[in-house]
Structure 1
Amino acid sequence: MESILHLLFLLQFLPLLSSSESYNPQVKYFINCGSASNVELESPRIFVGDKNSNPSFSVGKSNSVQNENPLPDISPLYHTARTYTKIFRYMLDINQTGSYLVRLHFFSFSFKKTHLIDALFNVFASNFSLLSNFSVRNSSTGFPVIKEFFLPIAKGNFDIYFIPADETRFAFVNAIEAFLLPSHFFIDDPTAIPPLRTTDGALRTLYRINVGGPQVNDTLWRNWVPDDDYLTFPSSVTTYSYDGELQESRQGRFVVKEIAPDAVYNTFKNMSIDNNGPSNIPNITWRFNVSKEARHLVRVHVCDLVSPSPGTVSFYLNISANIREVIDPNSYGFSEMRTPLFYDYMVSPDDSGYMSFSIAPNETSIKKVAFLNGLEIMEFLGSSTINMPVEHERRKHLALIIGSAGGVALILVLILVLSLCLRLKRLKPVKDLILKNEFLYGRGRSPSMTTERTENASIVTNLNLKLKMSLAKILAATENFNPNLLIGEGGFGKVYKGTLESGMKVAVKRSDSSHGQGLPEFQAEIMVLSRIQHRHLVSLVGYCDEGLEMILVYEFMEKGTLRDHLYDRKECLKNPSAETAFTWKQRLEICIGSAKGLHYLHTGPDGGIIHRDVKSTNILLDEHYVAKVADFGLSQSGMFDSDHISTSLKGSFGYLDPEYFRTLQLTNKSDVYSFGVILLEVLCARPPIVNSKQREEINLAEWGMFWQKEGQLEKIIDPVLVGHINRNSLRKFGEIAEKCLKPRGADRPNMLDVCWDLEYALQLQQTPAHREAHEDSTTTAASTDLALPLMQNLNYNMFPVDDYSDTTASAVFSQLRVNDSR
């Protein structure tokens, strides 16, 4: 059964609240956007004007606007707003990790010649896409639009990004709420099949229904609406209400008001039949529109107010065609009546576009009755790792610099340059689209943006790669995508471990459109991996594009990602005397292998390929710790005009080349910069971006280069490496990273140069201790280099960066093949 019933029965451990008590979260933000005034709706829900100085959150550059003609019955919370014509963020200081409820408030009004109803934008937070192409125009006019999300948020800075859909659009928000949920508001059940995990995911509220009752609010200020509009046959059901008190357990209430208020459990709709009733049992059915592609968490609320005694009632609950369960409250050991309960279900998507719920009496029950008190439907948000916004660093005091540097003449020149840039920018998207389509589909083939997915899939099929696999073969290899074989999840979708009929172990990557990537990335991956083959690039075993499925099958990499090994070093830290499994020599060899893979990629067929998403999670390790570069979904052909401008910025936080971000000019030197970040990750065993009160520590590239220039890089290395790195090897390694992270791409080495330098660093690491001491005391750095074999002294100035003769190329590749065979 795809979805499994999960009773959240440990609610007695939640805090006990009386009916008059309001929830007061330990961490809370209520922000009145674009205003200097506070608006109190109810204590402790006081919305603070964000124009006032507040150390706990910061507001980026934006415009505050005010409704010139506010309606008298609209809350002052919606009299102001913040608008943004460029990428903008709110940054909140979170001091406790946990599950948070985040609400965004939108209400359209007009100011001057601008109408907020014309806004079209996206919202990101915590690597999740909260809203995509959102507009209040699509919502009911005259009422505020409130979007509600449940997000896992770690301690540190929490950023909410608002991104206009294009240059002609803008974004806005009237108010923001973010507060910590009660402990155990969501509970995981790892024993369920498939495992029920909610605390690690993000959810968007779609529906919250008070069955049989009026519209009510709970202590989390959530709105529950009547169910009448969702019933398929409203006249066939009966509504009841209960005026008494609900039962309490000895430890306290099983369901506190943060889960659902008493007003929800005190009302219900039911259907009953007598003992001589029809054999064809009737049911009550509700129907809701949902996404065809997303998974949903469904929470069903019941409270037995109809049974004459415990154990006399059980009934059927059906959720679409996926779930059929018997609801029997007494089966969980509750000996008292009128005890509120709720059940969680994970519902898989289907192609219907709606979700139906029905209840029916159980013929075997003593009292044949079915009832429902409340219902919640929440949509899981896929993790978004592509196109995450990166803000421009503002040019401080620009006006002062311009004013002091020039007068009217300089201003006129700037205006002229700006107008030329804007003109070129309007022309470049067309050229960029043509180049992109030529790379993905072949010269002269540019499919329409509105072409159906099944038609586009034929482009892949027509390649005759002899790699196409049947869906049946993949289902057999993965045991019908058994959740127990799930080994990872990324921008494309979920990854399963599989075994082919031949016994070969494979990694099967199954597309999930809710994760943000789709057909273009699928095609790009196949196009790239069908043209290249190298020991340090992950091999494509096959693909499947049957129906709506987009599946890629790779060789299985036993040791997982490089990042997994860098950050999970707790055991080594507990026992420093133990031999470090992931040694400095191994790390250097992994860096060398990765560099060779990228070098081959950059110098391969058709002018080379730019990876565009080089990061430690895209470097995989086989059973012998041989490194292989993976994930070519964002890759792009290296054949560009010198002035080529990309219209879409792609990459990952912390790895993105600042020159590429600034100019949108993509070259293989952008991959070199990202690889420089990986070098520092390997050395320091920390992520490229961390939350830190010390500003200089947030960005690994900046932090590492600070200590490199100070000549004290050893201060930030992975503690498990202390005492295990040859000082000359560390010095050379720091120099390599510094070259890769040069601000200008032209100043960075190519990946061949990086290969040579890393080989040299490895040679230095293997230098005997007595020789190192002798070199330090009697020779200069230059003479030390000369003492090494000649091949190790080849530096990146000995070959042109992008152009070398066939003879030189042959020699280079011969040497690389020798090294690969080791």
Structure 2
Amino acid sequence: MLHFTFYLHLLFSVTLAGNYSVPYNATDYILLNCGASSSSSNTVSEDGRKWVTDDRSKFATSNSESASMASTASRQDHSVSQVPCMTARVFHGEFTYSFPVSPGHKFLRFYFYPAQYSDFDGTTSFFSVTANNHLLLSNFSAYLTLSGEDDQQASLIKEFMIPCLETEKLNVTFLPSLNSSAFVNGIEVVSMPKNMYINHQENSLIPVGTKGSFDIPDATAFETVYRLNVGGATVANVNDTGMFRTWFDDSPYIFGAAVGTTPSRSDNVTIKYSEETPGYIAPVIIYDTSRTMNDDSQINMNYNLTWSFSVDTGFNYLLRLHFCETQMEVTEEGQRVFDIFINNETAELSADVIHWSGGNSIPVYRDYVLLIPTEGESKQILWLALHPSKDVGSKYANAILNGLEIFRLNKSDGSLAVPNPQTDPGPSPMLPSVGKTKKKSSLVMVITTAVFSSLFGLSFIACSLIYKLKVRRVKDSAVSVQKSSWGQVPCPSNSTCATSVSLLPSDLCRRFSIFELKEVTLNFDDQFIIGSGGFGTVYKGCIDGGSTMVAIKRLDSSSRQGIREFQTELELLSKLRHVNLVSLIGFCDDHGEMILVYEYMQRGTLRDHLYKTKKPPLPWKRRLEICIGAARGLQYLHAGVKHPIIHRDIKSTNILLDENWLAKVSDFGLSRLGPMFQSHVTTVVKGSVGYVDPEYYRRQQLTEKSDVYSFGVVLFEVLCARQSMIPGLPKDQVSLARWAKICHARGNLESIMDPNLMGEISPLCLQKFGALAESCVRDVGTERPMMNDVVWGLEFALQVQEATERDMNIDMGGHEVITESSQTSPLMSKGAGRGTTTDDDNEELFSVSRGKLSESRSTISSVGRSVSRGDADRIKSESVFSEFMNDNGR
């Protein structure tokens, strides 16, 4: 009987524990497809949810004359969902929806697609929105809001959390601004668990940087500003524990090059939700990945893992940080202890996830409140930084974060409204004062008009004076240009800038005049040439008084590439920001010239270090780290942006290496936006011979798996150190991809491996790397892995290699031999074979592999691995940029 009672108790405990992971069942769940006809059958969105039309809806309580139905958008961006964004409800006067709901907070989401409709222009709409006496949007322009975002998306979702306490109604009112109309494409109402984000006095928060406590009362309204899947890809349009939240990739917000590592959850670890952190707090996929620091404790103590976010002033912000230790090496308290800083203020000292949660694989979260005062600009930067705690004796000097949510809390008057981004080209319609007399409204308009007129006049005078001071006359030119390259420069009549400049955010892409670039290259003198390719010639130059080295790609008038490729690369790179993508500094579209200016990559292309070179062979671990970096760049293009991008020209000459051996993907001239609603994009075949996906070549159907194939060829290039195509060889050996697949199938891949790597690669690492590369170059695209899987596979191969080297570096006494294992590992059996190089190459080789460890370990983060700054400062290398020297393949 005692045993029965024990097992019954155990079963009851397990059942209770399991209940914590049950998804939340929303009691209120309304999806309104605004403007859709009542006879419309297309009411199911991409995520499988069914939307109902608001045509003659029971939720519409206002006079029907105040609203009209906008026809289908005349032009639709492929990144925009068909439902609910293709139709809109237009409001010409005040209009209210009333939703019957249960008490408690509700997710209220608005969908906006500011496009041209048959009888309505969404780009010129200004309006306000209130919900249960909370002002959510004021004189809001969906078009300007989208224009102010870095990713330049075509549609917008605004998510709020609104309290419904004293009434069982959620009343949402649209109020057009003066001489304008309001519109909305979709409205979503979803209930949420009680007190999910509400904080009461018994568990008060401490505001960051101040003393005292902070209470979030029941009547607080929130707006979601950021929700990030830290260390993982964007998770959108899924049943996120019953509330359909979207979690975005955090990599665009990482500050600097120190991106840390992104380990995945161990296979034998299961997420265990608890009473304090039930399953609806965040889905399992958020805890599957994380972002941590590097493996080297000394390096980690010298930098912070940092994110930066743009926020509006004058509000309190709630930051919720999600943690979960899922790696088997961290299982006890005190093993990973770190500090949390928010806006350079200490938010938490000695944070210990295991101590908070009670064990490995148990999620936990921490909430912090920060006040952004109304000072200076309307936008400020919010910083979040993690740093290993000092003097605590933790086993791992490291930090970790799995997820992050940032919410704006309403002001004392109930408002969440913020100004439109400062990209408005002209005066916008004025908002009538709500609840005030017309007389006061008119007075406000008069005063505002006078103030704006005065400011405009003063600004015009100031700009005129500044322009006159900065204009200079250039030799042999009748055109005066602005010396400062930031911002807009007058366009000559023979320029093509009208087709490109208007598409660019001026704060992200610098515009140069042709005279500036001629000056830094001595009129494009041949002595500055560092490469050439399909686009034209690449020059080296120094800008900003010689402080910044750049690579300058100048379109050759006889080049087969032209305006389209120039604009493609310009538009894409000006909007993309990732540590593993080459950075575009600026452009020149002046006097018939088309020129792109990039960051300078000192170590040139990956191919420069593989074959037909006097440079010393790359050690195997460095090759793996380069492959991981390039794979992360492609992973970001495919899954880290809202609309996937297919590079279409991945090869070893388009993977660049900076002074610290950090790999970056370059050359986006042939890139295409990937499919959103279809399985592929039908397009003319472009790329480089030897790298083109055979399925794409046969069917002219481009997919993300086409990039995976090309990258698989690069992986074999890295392993075998030979060209992708060698026409003079026997038929089976002409194509590297084909020959490598044959050798892999025979089980003798080492027979075509770079001889310099013999004895250096562990057999298991070679097996894993070869299997991954072979899966990438399979003939059928559906059999190839996604780039996420490629990244994980490469990271695993590196871990296998490092584990083998660690085992080999243990001496008879059980002490680890401290060596630079990438070069001096006992796995190596080549003797002096690496030493036959030139003097300069010997200096490079010695400084990397045979220098003292303490001298070569001043590093920064490189896609989860450490790359040496100290080495880079001592190394002499022949520096070239990204372009391949022969254009026959394109």
Same topology, TM > 0.5: no
TM interval, short-chain normalised: 0.3 to 0.5
Normalised by the length of structure 2, the TM-score is 0.40
Normalised by the length of structure 1, the TM-score is 0.43
